[in-house]
Amino acid sequence: MDDKILTAVDGVIQASNFLKTDTSLAFIKKAALMIADCFEKGGKIIIAGNGGSLCDAMHFAEEFTAFFREKRKALPAIVLSEAGHLTAVSNDTEYNYVFERGVEAFLKKGDIFIALTTSGNSLNLINAIKKAKILEGKTISFLGKTGGDTKGLSDLEIIVEGFKTSDRIQEAHMAMIHIIIEMVEYVLFEPQTILKKLTKSDFAKSL
* 140: Cα within 13 Å, side-chain hemisphere: 25
For 97-131, the pLDDT digits (tens) are 999 999 999 999 999 999 999 999 999 999 999 99
189 vs 193, residue with greater confidence = 189
Q: List Cβ neighbours of 1 (8 Å cut-off, separation of 6 or more).
A: none
Residue 70, pLDDT above cutoff 60: yes
Phi/psi for 174 (5° steps) reads -65, -40
Percent of the chain with pLDDT over 90: 77
Residue 77 has a pLDDT of 98
Q: How confident is the model at residue 207 (pLDDT cuts 50, 70, 90)?
A: low
Identify the residue with better confidence: 82 or 194.
82
Q: Is the pLDDT reported for residue 194 higher than 80?
A: no
Residues with Cβ within 8 Å of residue 61, at least 6 apart in sequence: 45, 47, 77, 78, 79
Residue predicted with more confidence, 13 or 136: 136
Please compute the mean of the pLDDT values over residues 158-166 and round it to a whole number. 90
With beta carbons less than 8 A apart as the criterion, state whether 141 and 158 touch: yes
Domains of the chain and any CATH numbers: 2-206 (3.40.50.10490)
